[in-house]
Structure 1
């Protein structure tokens, strides 16, 4: 092999290797610069929820100790000794901080009966209207583990919200064998498929935004499972910590 042939071979080798090296580095760059994502390639957002108003004190405590949330979950209407209701001033404050608001309704302790589900949904709609929540926002009915629950209540909740300008959502601890999961799975298929679910299972410790776990919620299979409250009762601020798929943003304010 003469020198010219050798140079030709080296040149061909370089032409083959350079594109492969570029592809390798571009892929690594995309992975390192991309936001936190789940196994489906969805962007994941970190957020909090609180029973107290997200005034400057609580917001600053959260930002200083845990990070700036992308989403803040707040309750509709005051519930004595439990939660302070969202008002228009707080809405303006959160939006000024570029945060999405998740609406929670918790004015019941018994989640049974179709008519009861209808009644509670109507109250939730009224509360949402009072703070001028826009069309398309989901309202999450808060079903705690101690509450009696059945599919009839969920269907009443679903039907009423689906017929309104708002969207039906449910929050609960959807662990395997739980009453809430069994009730959900007993609903009509359309209601299961079109309800936005925010699950509180499995439970881990609250974390900062930078130390949040991978997005691995557990809940109904036939649901829009878009949110996970993975940590409750943070030590330094009165918040719980959450992760949300980007699909959830379509149902926030």
Structure 2
């Protein structure tokens, strides 16, 4: 299976930032961006950015991070509904994946994960989780959710933050080898490098199945 290199950033993509990545690291086939502005965390994606990326031959990978904890079934549903609302506002097509950004320091429980997957099932989008399967409670919560509802394992796509092997140029990206939970999981993305020196981005490799679910 082919693996595809790209980046993500909390900052808005400008021509300058795009060229910085191009010149220092290589051409990103996709760019992970946050759907909303969250103070001190992320600048929200704009239609102008989407045009800039797509006109450059780079797909957009949607991330939703406007939540501070990941506990409770109802909160999981609300998070999914909010993510879908903003994706729809930005005209993301049906079938695209929306990654909930679950940081390792968040409280996470299995109910929240099931709530996110269930609510996303009723939108036109697919559920994804950016997560750290080594540090923090995500791995246990995910496997507990899977034990209660097999749809978690069939619907959700995981984007792993571990191991962090360091930022590289596109042509020197590591072989796809992300850390996975100790249960059935579609781990299709890997953020292997964080906080690049030359430009404010992280570096990733994903499989072709995930790439096809991006805009």
If the length of structure 2 is used for normalisation, what is the TM-score?
Answer: 0.96
Give the counterpart of 2:92 among 130, 133, 137.
Answer: 133
Larger-Rg structure: 1
Between Structure 1 and Structure 2, which shows a larger proportion of helix residues?
1
Alignment of 1:179-190 (within 5 A): 179-187=137-145, 188-190=149-151
1:80-95 alignment, distance < 5 Å: 80-95=39-54
The Cα shift of 1:178 comes to: 4.1
1:252 and 1:222 mapped to 2: Cα distance? 23
Gaps spanning 5+ residues in structure 1: where? Answer: 1-41
Task: Work out which structure has the larger RCO, using CA pairs closer than 8 Å and 6 or more positions apart in sequence.
Answer: 2
Q: CA deviation at 1:226?
A: 0.7
Aligned equivalents of 2:185 and 2:125: distance in 1? 17
Number of matched pairs: 211
Alignment partner, residue 108 of structure 2: 149
Alpha-carbon RMSD across the aligned residues, in angstroms, is: 1.0
- CA deviation digits over 1:22-66, x for unaligned, max 9? xxxxxxxxxxxxxxxxxxxx1010000000111101100000000
Q: Residues of 2 paired with 1:203 and 1:228: CA distance? A: 9
Q: 1:113-156: per-residue Cα shift (whole Å, max 9, x none)?
A: 00000111111111101100000001000010110000100111
Check conservation: 2:3, 2:176, Cα contact below 8 A: yes
TM-score, normalised to structure 1, is 0.81
Give the gaps of 5 or more residues in structure 2: none
1:223 equivalent to 2:185? Answer yes
| Structure 2 residue 61 is the aligned partner of structure 1 residue 102 | yes
Q: Write the deviation string for residues 207-226 of structure 1: whole angstroms up to 9, x where unpaired.
A: 11111111101123412211
